[in-house]
Structure 1
């Protein structure tokens, strides 16, 4: 019978506290195209808004575009989540607005409930929770707000589609 000697454990190499575990920085051209896509999409919303005398650019849409252009492979950046998440959250905001009235308390509740509604409908899109907050805080007219929001999200997805194609990124990963 042969005896095996115990194997000495080799400690795992330790990483200095300041070393990052973040993913590598994208290539310069990739960053340039993503940034340009974002600028084009958001200024297009502003231009259309100025032309129609309507507000199309709201802060959550800038965050949505960041996901479309900079994290296009994630579920949060897919068209289903961007468009569906924004619309579901806006509707959630309107439901809370109707039930509780306009205000900061309603805004907090709307933002939280929007997450649950998006998860239930499988359209999770984190920037959209802020859209529910905006609706409950400002009380916009339902039909114009939803129509403008739908148009704005479609524009973002279309510009993102072009930008991701230029970057040779497969986008979308899924439509529906």
Structure 2
């Protein structure tokens, strides 16, 4: 008889192991690494990730001509998470991609709304308001969508308070998407050599323990005294006379 509580096999288990390992899937958990080896891989991964992003935006004439920054500063903080704290929920792909995009979108929209004031000087006077609104709004939307990624708060803030980023306007969004994709691609390669990343893509796996059932060979419920199948009895006592009766009645 098939166990009704047996977990279903992971959908990636049907694909070749050499492919699924780069997506974070393992049939069994990877062995525990010594600290020095974890530190080494963290350093290599962070170096490669930041270097790849800067190389793309520095040597691509398409981005240079449009005034794209070499790297958005908030990705330095993302590197700490996705290369150094690979098991953290805040470092998983959903948080990385979704968080930064929400931060950029919130920052651009709110900045453009505040920028409707008549003059640039007036906007600079209200720049503090745009930055505060952008960051606070991004945080709440990330909470609602389960994409909380702390560095994305800086992504929203930069759209309002950094002149170079603010002048990008809507072009800031594809830059953020590409940067997040490059950072994630490096993480999938470097973090899966002797570690595992991601722990999950969209939603963490939830293990719900099965309720023991005698029909499936599970143990029968026991009371506090260890007796099987004995239901505890309850006596309702409402007055002092009832107490006396309970005390003198035979058991």
TM-score (norm 2): 0.57
The 8 Å contact of residues 56 and 152 in structure 1, kept in 2 or not, is answered as: no
Greater RCO, 1 or 2 (C-alpha within 8 Å, sep 6+): 1
Aligned-pair CA distance for 1:33: 0.9
Aligned-pair CA distance for 1:34: 0.8
Q: CA separation of 1:106/1:158 partners in 2, compared to 1, >3 Å: closer, same or farther?
A: same
How many corresponding residue pairs?
150
1:42 to 41, 50, 72: 50
For residues 194 and 46 of structure 2, the distance between their equivalents in structure 1, rounded to whole angstroms, comes to 13
Structure 1 runs, 4 residues or longer, greater than 4 Å off: none
Aligned-pair CA distance for 1:90: 0.6
1:147 matches 2:174: yes
Aligned-pair CA distance for 1:99: 1.9
Partner of 2:37: 29
Which string of whole-angstrom CA distances, capped at 9 and with x for unpartnered residues, describes residues 56-99 of structure 1?
41111111111001111111100110010000011111121122
Which string of whole-angstrom CA distances, capped at 9 and with x for unpartnered residues, describes residues 90-134 of structure 1?
111112112222522211221111100111111000000001000
Map 1:90-101; keep pairs closer than 5 Å: 90-101=104-115
CA RMSD of superposed structures (Å): 1.5
Which string of whole-angstrom CA distances, capped at 9 and with x for unpartnered residues, describes residues 130-154 of structure 1?
0100001232333421111101101
Structure number with higher helix proportion: 1
The 8 Å contact of residues 110 and 134 in structure 2, kept in 1 or not, is answered as: yes
1:104 to 128, 148, 157: 128
1:129 matches 2:153: yes
Partner of 1:160: 187
Structure 1 unaligned residues grouped into runs of 5+: 1-25
Aligned-pair CA distance for 1:156: 0.6
TM-score (norm 1): 0.80
Structure 2 unaligned residues grouped into runs of 5+: 1-33, 116-122, 203-251
Partner of 2:99: 85
For residues 167 and 161 of structure 1, the distance between their equivalents in structure 2, rounded to whole angstroms, comes to 11
